[in-house]
């Protein structure tokens, strides 16, 4: 079994002996800055000129300076910018300010794993990656809990990089939930594969294909929506709570028999071969290179695919049906609200 670290395993003094710069004040940035500050760590937030987050961070009692100034003052720099922005900001604002012995931290391994950011030798390079969105990292901390996190070391110049990462994770609240040691390779590759094959890509393609199959056969789109999308949450909740056998225990025997005999026909050897190909593209850097080039070109394909997805019939019928079930998205930020559509 893998080793999990908890509160007693962390040397709490390590991160408290550092001047920490949190670069960015988005989902992760606000949670890291506030949790560390509340844990007694010396924190400053680095933001770009004219950042809309500046007022928010200052209202929360944080000191906000430029990215360059934060990196210059600090001897531990946590980069919490969007992954696609990290390389440019690192090169223009951070790299020059890294003194010998300064630690460079990330919350996801993408830029280090694919060689987009190349820190100089002489400093620790580590990762503290919460396995949850930033608002939960903050909220669970305030409630006395934490979000499980991964820690990893890419460069161990001090000989204590892993302990420093664990100390940071402890101040973030993560050791209250469990901290798992991993590598930049494992975190990056499994994260990308999971979101492509299952969590985002696999699931949305499966749902849309099943919806199209029913509608094409003449069934009402509303029936197809309820069956293939709406009910998915109930099944996923059962899997989340009790695993796959627990889900099967809760559904009818008819559903369970259909599951066990038909599921493997949908996810057949062709799908597994495709999953292996997708994993290979992640590991050899083809996916990263494609995504970096897409960003450099202004995201034409990304934008077109997003529009295409939004105009799919499942989205039209879904918007109508959810409007009649306001409790379904209560308290959530809705696409209709942010896109004005
Ligand atoms: P985010 O988009 O929520 O926030 C990014 C912040 O960077 C914002 O404050 C934004 O204003 C600022 N920013 C954007 N471009 C900038 C630029 N050019 N110069 C200066 N500031 C700029 O990002 P996030 O979701 O918090 O992600 C940060 C890191 O955390 C990423 O590495 C991500 O992979 C990782 N991560 C995110 C989550 C999550 O659930 N959101 C979970 C684990 C790890
Ligand atoms: Mg410095």
Closest CA to 184 of 155, 164, 205: 155
Q: Which pair of tokens denotes residue 67? A: 């990215």
CB 30 within 8 A of CB 13: no
- Band of pLDDT at residue 336, cut at 50, 70 and 90: low
- Residues with a beta carbon under 5 angstroms from ion ligand 2: 97, 99, 102
Please indicate whether residue 230 is annotated as part of the active site. no
Report the separation in Å between the CA atom of 23 and the middle of ligand 2, taken as the mean of its atom positions: 12
73 CA → ligand 2 middle, Å: 5
CB 202 within 8 A of CB 236: no
CB 66 within 8 Å of CB 92: no
> Residues near 78 by Cβ (< 8 Å), separated by ≥ 6?
20, 21, 22, 23, 32, 105, 106, 107, 128, 168
- pTM reported for the whole predicted model: 0.92
Q: What is the pLDDT of residue 56?
A: 97
CA of 153 to the centre of ligand 1 (A): 20
For 3-25, what is the mean pLDDT? 97
Instruction: Identify the residues whose C-beta falls under 6 Å from ligand 1.
Output: 24-29, 48, 51, 53, 67, 80-83, 85, 89, 107-108, 129-130, 133-134
Active-site residue, from 30, 32, 108, 135: 108
How would you class 96 by CB atoms within 10 Å of its CB: exposed for 0-12, middle for 13-18, buried for 19 or more? exposed
Residue pLDDT, tens place only, 266-276: 999 999 999 99
At 79-127, the pLDDT tens digits run 999 999 999 999 999 999 999 999 999 999 999 999 999 999 999 999 9
Order of strands across the sheet that contains 19-23: 4-5, 179-181, 149-155, 125-130, 103-106, 76-79, 19-23, 42-47, 64-66
């Amino acid at each position: 079994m893998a080793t999990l670290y908890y509160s007693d395993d962390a040397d709490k003094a390590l991160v408290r002996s550092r001047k920490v710069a949190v670069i960015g004040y988005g989902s992760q940035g606000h949670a890291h800055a506030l949790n560390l500050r509340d844990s007694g760590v010396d924190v400053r937030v680095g933001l770009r000129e004219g950042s809309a987050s500046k007022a928010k961070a200052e209202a929360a009692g944080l000191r906000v300076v430029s990215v360059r100034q934060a990196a210059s003052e600090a001897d531990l720099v946590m980069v919490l910018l969007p992954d696609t922005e990290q390389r440019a900001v690192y090169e223009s604002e951070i790299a020059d300010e890294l003194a010998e012995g300064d630690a460079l931290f990330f919350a996801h391994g993408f830029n280090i794993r694919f060689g987009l950011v190349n820190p100089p030798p002489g400093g620790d390079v580590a990762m503290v990656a919460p396995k949850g969105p930033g608002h939960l990292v903050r909220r669970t901390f305030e409630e006395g809990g934490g979000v499980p996190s991964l820690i990893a070391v890419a460069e161990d110049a001090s000989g204590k990089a892993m302990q420093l990462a664990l100390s940071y994770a402890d101040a973030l609240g993560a050791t209250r939930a469990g901290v798992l040691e991993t590598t930049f390779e494992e975190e990056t590759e499994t994260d990308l594969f999971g979101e492509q094959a299952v969590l985002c890509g696999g699931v949305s393609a499966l749902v849309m294909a099943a919806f199209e199959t029913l509608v094409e056969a003449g069934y009402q789109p509303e029936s197809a929506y309820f069956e293939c999308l709406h009910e998915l949450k109930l099944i996923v909740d059962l899997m989340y709570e009790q695993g796959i056998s627990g889900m099967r225990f809760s559904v009818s025997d008819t559903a369970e028999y259909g599951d066990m005999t038909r599921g493997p026909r949908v996810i057949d050897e062709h799908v597994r071969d495709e999953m292996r190909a997708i994993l290979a593209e992640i590991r050899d850097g083809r996916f990263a290179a494609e995504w970096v080039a897409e960003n450099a070109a202004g995201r034409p394909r990304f934008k077109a695919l997003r529009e295409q997805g939004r105009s799919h019939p499942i989205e039209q019928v879904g918007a109508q049906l959810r409007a009649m079930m306001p409790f379904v998205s209560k308290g959530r930020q809705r696409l209709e609200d942010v896109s004005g559509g």
